[in-house]
Chains A and B, each alone.
Chain A
Amino acid sequence: MKKARLAVGYGSICGGCDVAFTDVGTELVDLAELVDIVYWPAVVDGKIEQLKKISDIDIGIYFGAVRTEHHELVLRLLDEKSKILVAFGTCPCYGGIPALGNVETSDSLLQTAYSEAPNTTNDGIPGLRKLKRQTMEVPRLKAFISAPSDLVNFDVFVPGCPPPVQSVSKLIDLIRDYSAGDPIPEMHFIAEETSVCDFCKREKPEVISIDRIMRIHEVEFNEDECFLSQGILCMGPVTRAGCGEEPRCIQKNMPCRGCFGPLPKVRDQGTKFLSSIASSIVLGKEKNMSDEDLQHLVKKQVLDPVGQFYRFALAVAAFNRRYTGD
């Protein structure tokens, strides 16, 4: 059997996906037998010139979001050269954590990082120009962060921040099948088609009406009952399952944070959850409250709405960045 050629390219990453990938342990040996790794900064080589040179990639895997022009270049090159393009991790699927940067403009991010941060004395701000020093070049920030899936068409999606071990195994199985000549289903998700709630074992009451939104440390909660019905915001209902037989955060007694992104029929995870929560807050009792009271209730109790509702999928939301007038 001819070995498939595998390349891994990076966007804006935290490094977690590399770790998660290697977490499969001995299965990496299987992978090494299946493929030739032609490009992977952490493993073989990471110079862009190298990637530019390579042709005929069978499986291109992209980690991270698109923050700089360089990230986009890597993405476009992989897309152009790969037969099968894989979005590995939540960032390439939905923008992930880096996209939270979209609540600010790139200019003001640089301003903060280079001049306003308490431990910075630098007066100069790089701005959105390209920086060149001798042979080195610092790529330009793009005006906002994009989800790679909005820029190119992926064949396989492996959501999760980071993807769990079983997803990596499934990806290796997929590569095996592909090498054996089996076709890969279109827009294939290595995840479930239903929500985290569907896999959650906690007891659910008949009617869910939230009287007060609570943060996890503020309440002594029942470990067998649904978080949401106890007033703790759990992204389970709007999040694709697949992180574990029993969802991994829930199992550890933490509400779901939503890292697997929206369900198949939903485009905008955050807005969907926001409208679900807005509808179930003081359900049946809202008639006795004024609009201001209601708004106040939500505003006061949700301290960081963007972080809470759009933590992993801001880049693909209907309103996905600060409005700058253009």
Chain B
Amino acid sequence: MERKSTERIGVFVCHCGRNIAETVDVERVTEEIGEHPSVVFSEHYDYMCSQPGQDMVRDAIKNHSLTSIVVAACSPTLHEKTFRDVVEKAGMNRYKCEIANIREQDSWVHTDKEEATAKALRITRSIVEKVRGNRELSPIEVDLHKRALIIGGGIAGMQASLDIANAGHQVVLVEREATIGGHVAKLAETFPTLDCASCILTPRMSEVANHPNIKLIVNAEVVDVEGYVGNFRVKILKKASYIDADACNLCAKCEGVCPENVLSGFDEYLSFRKAIYIPFPQAVPSTYTIDTEACLNPEGMKAVICSKCRDVCEADAINYDRSSEMIEEQAGVIVVATGYQLYAPENIGEYGAGKYPDIITSLQFERLLAPNGPTSGTPRRPSDGKIPKKLAFIHCAGSRDENHNDYCSSICCMYSSKQALLFHEHYPDSEIYNFYIDLRASGKNYEQFIKRVQDEGINYIRGKVSKIFEQDGKVTVFGIDTLKGERIEDQFDMAVLALSMVAPAGIRDLATKLGISYDDYGWISEEHPKLRPVETPTAGIFVAGVAHGPKDIQTTVAQASGAASKVLDMLSHDVITHLPTVARVERDACSACRLCVSVCPYSAITIEDGAASVNEALCEGGGLCAAICPSGAIELTNMTGIQMMSMIDAVSEEPR
């Protein structure tokens, strides 16, 4: 259909197969929108995003000299870019193309065809109004600092660092603990292949340590982030390191003389270490560290009460006069790979962990299985050092439970089964029970792995455990077998809680500093779960590994490489472009009330000479400022108040 008008808008209505067309009368939408005074062309097609659909758009722009277009289809997060690329190739400014979402906001949520069609029309009309007010824009260019900052040195952070460094770019890797490696360093063997965790991890750790492009900063945390994509300025607080890592030759003499014993965090508090220690022999950086909280000398080594370690060090590596440092780094991109922590067992009072010695956490059991663990790989129970004969593994401890965490931690079924198998392989006479709600084993070869564990003779009982406690040296488990419909009350030598994975301490703070968002649980939010899973909504900041939500090593590493490839894509350019749909201030109308300055999450606004001023490179176009500005002085480009009002009018107008 073609009509005459100076404004020449084309509207393309997509069927999305049956997704839209089943609930929306696409032909009627096409016909009625074609009667809008500014619409000169309208058409519908099965899949607008396919090649024939794209060709249809391109040809219509040429043949009907369209000045702007609206595609009525799925959410703009899906295909806005697709269609903007198409119009650009056809010689139209990309900001003259808008998407009317008649799928997620219409066909998917309604069943009545009549009403859904009327709504599709309203939505499309409102977007036609928007596009009428759109200006032609060109992207904003900003310089790019060709360097990546990776936060968190677990397997995710290491993988991302190595991928980026191997491609020839500089990497700064910041780790909060004394060594990199994260949780995988604590594991014994890993499902589903049962390869030993150290064998996967330690070679990579040393690769990181020796890589000329990687600058590793341990015992450190990011405390301040300024700037924007391409130009982040980051302040990193590194705790004082009293030991010169290059000089330390790991002779362990200091450890021998140190009088202070504390529980070892690396061993999940199942063994003791000294105040001067190395988390484990393969730690990177390969050096001893002083745990200042445990050291006899007061915080910050303000006075030297004990100097035994310094006195004994032949390499002269120890110096108490050092202090913490603030390191400033510049980076163009940031990857957040801060992993997880286990849900505190004390939170689940009815499971008795912390109260009874033989009710332990899954990570503790992992340490008991590990050859480099506190019992050298022979799993002995904490209370009396005996090897347990009858063991209970409690799945979903704190997961899938509205009183704790309502999500599935996704890997506990797998690692509990793994732990059961590893134990049983060593002690075939042992009796092992896995208490589970549902068995989740959806990864590659996972189901086969579970089968193998079951074939090994390990029992699986379906039902939630209600209570665990110790009595007369035995761990009693109350539960229910929902398959048999029986109540269960049984005694064990030890119980292992598969605790949920939760977001690590401090992550919310860090996210706020970075200007990225997190979900209700503290997991970092991605830009789009399907199409942009490793990008955060803040340009230049990516997420990898469990920081984004529970997952196994395999997926963690894949995601880390995914994030690295996005980073490399960015670093391959000399400048980066930034969306031009930023906030703009009409300086005469601004009364410098500062409300927008306070509300902008990206610190993009400052008051200059009595009026607000927007740093375009920082502005993400979120529009909080436009909403808060009492003077109507600040507006989003291509989403002005006038556009918004005419969109509202179009939505509320009665269809014929």
Contact = CB atoms under 8 A, between A and B. Distances in A.
A194 B599 contact: no
A211 interface: no
Contacts of B508: 287
A279 B641 contact: no
Nearest to B626: A275
B79 interface: no
Given A279-B599, A283-B599, A204 B594 contact: yes
Given A275-B627, A279-B624, A279-B627, A263 B632 contact: yes
Contact of A266 (B593, B594, B632, B648): B632
B597 interface: yes
Contact of A207 (B588, B597, B628, B630): B597
A169 to B, nearest CB: 25
Interface in A253-281: 263-267, 272-273, 275-276, 279-280
A318 B645 CA distance: 9
Nearest to B511: A287
Nearest to A265: B632
9 contacts: A194-B591, A195-B630, A204-B594, A208-B595, A237-B591, A238-B630, A238-B631, A265-B586, A273-B630
Contacts of B630: 195, 237-238, 263, 266, 272-273, 276
Nearest to A207: B598
Contacts of B641: 265, 267
Interface string A167-206: 0000000000000000000000000011101100000101
B188 interface: no
B629 interface: yes
A22 B595 CA distance: 39
Nearest to A194: B591
A206 B592 CA distance: 11
Contacts of A266: 630-632
A318 B586 CA distance: 23
A251 interface: no
Contacts of B593: 195, 197, 204, 208, 237
Nearest first, the 4 closest Cβ-Cβ pairs linking A and B are A265-B632, A237-B630, A195-B591, A238-B630
Contacts of A263: 589, 591, 630-632
B261 to A, nearest CB: 38
Contacts, number: 76
A208 to B, nearest CB: 5
Nearest to A269: B630
B598 A209 contact: yes
Given A195-B630, A265-B631, A265-B641, A276 B589 contact: no
Nearest to B598: A207
A172 B593 CA distance: 33
B30 to A, nearest CB: 31
Contacts of B507: none
Contacts of B624: 279
B633 interface: yes
Q: How large is the interface on A (under 10, 10 to 19, 20 to 34, 35 or more residues)?
A: 20 to 34
Contacts of A209: 598
B632 A206 contact: no
B528 to A, nearest CB: 22
Interface in B613-634: 624, 627-633
Given A194-B589, A264-B589, A266-B630, 5 more contacts: A195-B593, A195-B630, A195-B631, A265-B641, A272-B632
A264 B633 CA distance: 10
Contacts of A194: 589, 591, 631
B594 A267 contact: no
A194 B592 CA distance: 10
B499 to A, nearest CB: 24
B598 A283 contact: yes
A194 B512 CA distance: 34
Interface in B488-538: 508, 512
B629 A276 contact: yes
A276 B627 CA distance: 7
A198 B627 contact: no
A79 to B, nearest CB: 25
A195 B586 CA distance: 14
B588 A193 contact: yes
A318 B598 CA distance: 27
Contacts of A197: 591-593
Interface in A1-19: none
B219 to A, nearest CB: 28
Nearest to A240: B631
A208 B598 contact: yes
A238 B624 CA distance: 16
Contacts of A283: 598-599
Interface in A221-255: 237-238
B632 A207 contact: no
A194 to B, nearest CB: 5
Nearest to B634: A265
Contacts of A195: 591, 593, 630-631
B632 A279 contact: no
A24 to B, nearest CB: 29
A250 to B, nearest CB: 14
B521 to A, nearest CB: 13
A14 B451 CA distance: 86
A264 B586 CA distance: 12
A304 B227 CA distance: 42
Contact of A267 (B586, B631, B645): B645
Nearest to A238: B630
Interface in B366-382: none
A67 B589 CA distance: 33
Given A265-B641, A267-B645, A237 B632 contact: no
Nearest to B645: A267
A292 B174 CA distance: 38
Contacts of A280: 595, 598-599, 628
Nearest to A208: B598
Contacts of B586: 265
A208 B631 CA distance: 16
Nearest to B610: A198
A69 to B, nearest CB: 27
Interface in B337-394: none
Nearest to B518: A287
A198 B633 CA distance: 13
Nearest to A209: B598
A197 B578 CA distance: 34
A295 B593 CA distance: 25
Nearest to B517: A287
Contacts of B632: 263-266, 272
B595 A237 contact: yes
